[in-house]
Amino acid sequence: METTADPRRLGLLAEYDNPADLVRGAASMRERGYRRLDAFTPYEVPGLAETLGVARTRLPLVTLVAAAVGGTLAYLIQWWTNAVAYPIPVGGRPLHAAPAFVPITFETAILFAGVATFLGVLVLSRLTRLWAPIDEIDGFERASVDRYWLAVDRRDPSFDPERTARELEDTGPLRVVGPPSRPSLGIVRCLPPLILVMLPFLAGCDVAGPEPNFSLERMIHQPRYDAWEASAVFADGKAMRDPPAGSVHAGSVLGPPALVEGRTDGRWVEQVVPEVDAALLRRGRDRFEIYCAPCHGIDGEAATSVAQSMSLRTPPPLVDGDARTLPPGRVFHVATYGYGLMPAYGHQLSIGDRWAVAAWVEVLRLRFGVPLESLPPALYERARRELEARDEEEDRPALPEPAVGRQRQGLEREVER
Amino acid sequence: MSAFPRQGPAARLEFAAPRRVRRAAAAAALLGWTALLFGWSLDPERAFFAYLGAFVYGITLALGALALVMMAHAAGAKWFVVVRRLAESVAATLPLFVLLFVPLLFGLEQLYPWVPPLDGLEGHARHAVEEKQAYLNVPFFVARGFGYLLVWSVLAAALWAWSVRQDETPESAPLARAVAWSGPGLLVFAFTATLAAIDWVMSLDPGWYSTVFGVYFMVGGMVGALGLLLVAARGLERAGPLAGALAAPHYHALGRLLLVFVALWAYVAYAQGFLIWIAGLPHEIGWYLTRLDGGWGLVALTLVAGHFALPFALLLSRSFKRSGRRLAVLGVWMLAVHYLDVFWLILPALARPEARAHWLDAPALAAVLGTATLVGLWRLTGHAVLPLHDPRLPQALGYESE
């Protein structure tokens, strides 16, 4: 039931002891022209709302609007995060992937609608108000037990204190009463339930023990050990515990040291450990050109713009200079753990991939510095032809005939320095 | 409503189909069959596809009505008693579909790519068909088809028989049997209708499968059947037999049920489409690519808007649901979009560039629906339009709803 509990509206009230009398009373007052009527009953009385002419609740509208707002909001959030603020293409689907946004849009609309309906019931039926002047009438509390009240609004055009009282009496109530004479401090009435609600929070206070503590110090200084602290608890005097003997560090790879570390008895393995075949070399080339070539160059000569930028500690060429003589075991180890500024790739490349890379480095070394004229005649002719054609195309002077590879290497080295 | 003679002479309630309606149905059936036969001689393949569309459309309406009757029995819905006889008479056309199934048997080779010889198939589809030979073969298909139709016919005929027997006797024993059989009947219905959906519609594209397809098929039928029920109820209320029996609360309840099934249809359609879209597997997405290509995409959009968005938005409104007139208009609309849905499921399987609407679709629809209407009217004629002696009838007539 809607409650008109505003003190300015309270005109007269009639108390009945059964719902039928109330409905009859309400109907008779309606017949006499009263329109601003209200009733208070312990439960929903069938037919009462129709008799009083209570308008249908606006709750469905609240639900609908909340659902629309929730759905729109959820869709916009998804669109903005996925297509605008942080676009990540997934599986070739469009960034603004409307079908994928539907479930969250739907669920959020339901959530908003549900919460709004719940709050709407509380607010529209004024359950949020803990006290109203009408509560001051003696015996009114029985409206929630076994009595049925009819209220006439003071602002009803037909309202007249004396005539209305007479007419209410005619409907056969137990009694007719006016508004409470004594205005009450409503807030005072609200305090007990509020205090009751807040009482459980006291359980969080440590004031009941033998030594009451009102400070917050104990939240700052908590009895616990930090790492590496001394402790009297353990025999070795350390707060930290050693892992049990034989523990293996999580994620460690177990296997023959030659394979997983690239060395045996402190010496670098001189040969690629897995069997080298075409597939391994293809894989090695593939990984090398993805992970290593950005710094060390496609050909391993470290003639890259990244290398040029790192002028203080240049990534070395792998096919020339000091690094040329590093055995495959060492190359594998560096690929695994990194070296100097070079990060470790053990997490990105599997053991097989790192050996494949080491094998490909061997290939690059074999290939490096081979003089043109040492090629078989047919191949030599073809290489010359193609190199000249390229140089003409790029409008560069033809290179001197012998040892083309080395000469170019030298020039580039100078540029690099 | 109080003016309705609850104990009055049953004669007033007895249904007699207006001659105008009977003649129209008979004319539609006659013209439809003749034109269909003529069209079949010109273009047998297209004729069979048109006929399959009309057959599936008609039988989903009848199955939807059957399911509604059983659901109302199983749930103990009192308000539904007012329109139950109408739904029962729609479901009682199911035995006719045993006959209507026969013409399809002559077109299996044109309709279903899994019927040997498997000429048009290659790759995944061919492999899938070869693996499914144990299930997808002509004798088993025919046997299964008649099996489903037999089960449904028995269910519908039994529900009809119990219902009209209840008119004769004040004892409620026939009704109790209908209620008792409706629960198990729903299980049997769900199982057989799922298989029928797989056989008749899904196997048009034998490489494709969706586990929720049977539900889609059934829920589409429910939406159509509710549309038909709304049109019939409003028509009979206007024409007299149901005048005074149907009031806003009954329409409200029917409207709510329609809202539920419209939303369920959208949910199932979305779930199926979304899962296939997000997986993007070649053998699954192909079905949708065909059905979203060119003009079919427009049909799909129309379904989203017309089979879901529009009725959903309208049915949210309380006053809309309480108006028999508006609901009947929406009922006609739902019948139309349900046909569009069936059309969209079936016709793209006809792998022809000109596979669009064809003049043959109209006579096929007229033939199936005209014949079914005649059978439904014939069943209803001579019986009361309300289940008399149903102990819940007074409560159903006085049904109130907020």
Give residue A159's pLDDT.
86
Nearest-angstrom CA–CA distance, A98 and A79: 8
Contacts of A64 in chain B (CB under 8 A): 316
The Cα–Cα gap between B287 and B209 comes to: 9
Nearest to A100 among B278, B316, B318 (CB): B278
Q: Does B273 touch chain A (CB under 8 A)?
A: yes
The CA distance from A97 to A76, in Å, is: 12
Pairing state between β A263-264 and A37-40:
unpaired
CA pair distance B141, B112, nearest whole angstrom: 11
pLDDT confidence of residue B9: 42
How large is the average pLDDT for residues A143-159?
88
* Of B157, B147, B6, B35, nearest in space to B91 by CA: B157
What's the gap in Å between the CA of B360 and the closest CA on chain A? 36
Contacts of B277 in chain A (CB under 8 A): 99
Choice among A114-123, A167-176, A269-278, A406-415 with the minimum mean pLDDT: A406-415
Nearest CA in chain B to A90: B278
Arithmetic mean of pLDDT, B52-65: 95
Residues A49, A55, A59, A64, CA torsion sign: positive
Q: What is the largest CA-CA distance in chain B?
A: 69
Mutate to test the interface with A, among B272, B316, B322 (most CBs of A within 10 A): B316
| Both tokens assigned to A323 | 């690094």
| Largest Cα span, chain A | 130
The answer to whether A100 contacts B316, with C-beta atoms less than 8 Å apart, is: no
- Residue B355: pLDDT band with limits 50, 70, 90: low
The number of angstroms, rounded, from the C-alpha of A173 to the middle of its chain's C-alpha atoms is 62
Complex confidence, ipTM: 0.82
Burial profile A230-248: b = 16 or more Cβ within 10 angstroms, e = fewer? eeeeeeeeeeeeeeeeeee
Nearest residue on chain B to A93, alpha-carbon basis:
B278
Contacts of B318 in chain A (CB under 8 A): 60
> Which residues 14-43 of B are in CB contact (within 8 Å) with A?
none
Query: Which structure tokens are listed for A284?
Result: 């090695």
| Among candidates A64, A99, A103 on the partner chain, residue whose Cβ is nearest the Cβ of B277 | A99
Residue B45 confidence (pLDDT) above 80: yes
Say how far apart CA B267 and CA A339 lie, in whole Å: 57
**B280 to A60: CB separation less than 8 angstroms, yes or no:** no
C-alpha pair distances (Å), B366 with each of B53, B92, B231, B372 = 12, 19, 18, 10
User: Rounded mean pLDDT of chain A?
Assistant: 84
Helix axes B44-75, B361-380, angle to 10 degrees: 40
| Neighbour count for residue B81 (Cβ, 10 Å) | 23
In this prediction, residues A15-34 reach a mean pLDDT of: 90
Q: What angle do CA B169, B171, B172 make, to 5 degrees?
A: 110
Decide if A60 touches B, using CB distance below 8 A.
yes
**Residue B10: pLDDT over 60:** no
- Distance CA(B87)–CA(B67), nearest Å, equals 9
| CB atoms B280 and A93 under 8 Å | yes
**Cβ of A47 under 8 Å from any chain B Cβ?**
no
Q: What's the average model confidence in pLDDT over B37-54?
A: 90
**Nearest chain A residue to B277, by CA:** A99
Confidence of residue B24 (pLDDT cuts 50, 70, 90): very high
Query: Inter-chain contact A99–B274, Cβ cutoff 8 Å?
Result: yes
Question: How is A334-399 classified by DSSP, letter by letter?
Answer: HHHH-BTTBPP-TTTS-HHHHHHHHHHHHHHHHHTT--GGGS-HHHHHHHHHHHHHHHHHTT-PPP
Mutation choice for B interface testing from A82, A101, A102, A110 by most B CBs within 10 A: A102
Cα distance from A220 to chain B (closest Cα, Å)?
Answer: 50
**With an 8 Å Cβ cutoff, is B277 touching chain A?**
yes
Nearest chain B residue to A97, by CA: B278
Task: Report the 10 Å Cβ neighbour count for B402.
Answer: 8
Enter the tokens of residue B368. 């199936």
Rg (CA), chain A: 44
Q: Which of A91, A102, A103 sits opposite B280 (nearest CB)?
A: A91
The mean of the pLDDT values for chain B is 88
The single-letter DSSP state of residue B17 is: -
Residue A34 to chain B, least CA–CA distance (Å): 25
Q: Give the residue among A103, A117, A104 at the shortest CA–CA distance from A65.
A: A117
Chain A residue nearest residue B273, CA to CA: A99
The reply to whether residue A99 touches residue B280, judged by beta carbons under 8 angstroms, is: no
Is the pLDDT reported for residue A33 higher than 90? no
pLDDT at A410 over 50: no
Q: Is A91 on the interface with B (CB under 8 A)?
A: yes
Candidate from A133-142, A324-333, B244-253 with smallest mean pLDDT: A133-142
> Is the torsion defined by CA of B6, B11, B16, B18 positive or negative?
negative
Q: Is the Cα dihedral A249, A251, A254, A259 positive or negative?
A: negative
User: Percent of chain B at pLDDT above 70?
Assistant: 96
| pLDDT of the residue at A415 | 46
**A250-255: Cβ within 8 A, 24+ apart:** A253/A351, A255/A351
Per-residue pLDDT for A402 more than 80? no
Reported as a pLDDT band with limits 50, 70 and 90, residue A182 is low
Residue B278 in contact with partner chain A when CB distance is under 8 A? yes
B400 vs A contacts (CB less than 8 Å) = none
Q: Does B309 touch chain A (CB under 8 A)?
A: no
Asked if B316 and A102 come within 8 Å (Cβ–Cβ), the reply is no
What is the nearest CA distance from A56 to chain B, expressed in angstroms?
A: 10
Contacts of B39 (CB under 8 A, 6+ apart): B46, B47, B50, B359, B360, B363
Rounded Cα–Cα distance for residues B297 and B276 (Å)? 16
Residue with the larger pLDDT of the pair A191 and A368: A368
- Torsion, Cα B116 B117 B121 B126, to 10 degrees, reads 50
A230 touches chain B (CB under 8 A): no
Predicted confidence (pLDDT) per residue in B197-241, tens digit: 999 999 998 888 899 999 999 999 999 999 999 999 998 888 877
Contact residues on chain A for B274, CB-CB shorter than 8 A = 99-100, 102-103
Distance (Å, whole) CA A97 – CA A313: 46
Contact A10, A50 (CB under 8 A): no
Whether B9 has its CB under 8 Å from any CB of chain A: the answer is: no
Q: Taking 70 as the threshold, does the pLDDT of residue B148 lie above it?
A: yes
If we measure between CA atoms, which residue out of A134, A235, A244, A150 comes closest to residue A189?
Answer: A134
- CA within 13 Å, CB half, B186: 15
- Put simply, the answer to whether A99 touches B318 (Cβ < 8 Å) is no
| A102 vs B contacts (CB less than 8 Å) | 270, 274
Phi/psi-derived region of residue A165, left when phi > 0, alpha when psi is between -120 and 50, beta in every other case: alpha
CB B151 within 8 Å of CB B188: yes
Tokens for B130, please give them: 């070869």
DSSP secondary structure string for all residues of B347-385: GGGS--TT-S--TTHHHHHHHHHHHHHHHHHHHHTTSBS
Cα–Cα distances in angstroms (integers) from residue A43 to residues A19, A145, A328, B342, in the given order: 10, 9, 88, 50
First and final CA of chain B: distance in angstroms? 17
CA-nearest residue of chain A to B280?
A91
Q: Between chains, do B274 and A100 touch, taking CB under 8 Å as contact? A: yes
Reading the block at residue A245, the tokens are 């003997």
Q: What is the DSSP string of B168-234?
A: H-SS-HHHHHHHHHHHHHHHHHHHHHHHHIIIIIGGGSTT---TTHHHHHHHHHHHHHHHHHHHHHH
pLDDT tens profile B289-346: 888 887 888 899 999 999 999 999 999 999 999 999 999 999 999 999 999 999 999 9
Q: What is the pLDDT of residue A212?
A: 66
What is residue B193's predicted lDDT score, i.e. its pLDDT?
Answer: 95
| Interatomic CA distance for residues B12 and A48, integer angstroms | 37
Asked if A100 and B280 come within 8 Å (Cβ–Cβ), the reply is no
How far apart CA B80 and CA A54 sit, in angstroms, is 29
Residue B67: other Cβ atoms inside 10 A: 24
Length of chain A counted residue by residue: 417
Q: Is B275 on the interface with A (CB under 8 A)?
A: no
Spell out which residues of chain B touch residue A90, defining contact as CB-CB under 8 Å.
none
Residues from chain A that touch B280, judged by Cβ atoms under 8 A, are 91-93
Is B317 touching A (CB cutoff 8 A)?
no
Rounded Cα distance, B341 and B346, in Å: 9
Does A19 sit behind a cis peptide bond, omega within 30 degrees of 0 on the bond before it?
Answer: no
- The answer to whether A147 touches A17, Cβ cutoff 8 Å, is yes
A149 beta partners: A15, A40
- Please, what is the end-to-end C-alpha distance for chain A in angstroms? 90
Does A102 reach chain B within 8 Å, measured CB to CB? yes
**Spatial CA neighbour of A166 closest among A14, A27, A15, A51:** A14
Whether B278 sits inside 8 A of A92 (CB atoms) is no
C-alpha span between B358 and B45 (Å, rounded): 12
Between B351 and A378, the higher pLDDT residue: A378
| Chain A, window 343-402: residues with a beta carbon less than 8 angstroms from a chain B beta carbon | none
Q: Is the pLDDT of residue A322 over 60?
A: yes
Other CB atoms within 10 Å distance of the CB of residue A107:
13
Which residues does chain B have within 8 Å of residue A60's beta carbon, measured at their own beta carbons? 318
**Nearest CA to B30 among B319, B332, B338, B373?**
B373
Task: Read off the tokens for A76.
Answer: 């916009």
pLDDT reading at B33 higher than 50: yes
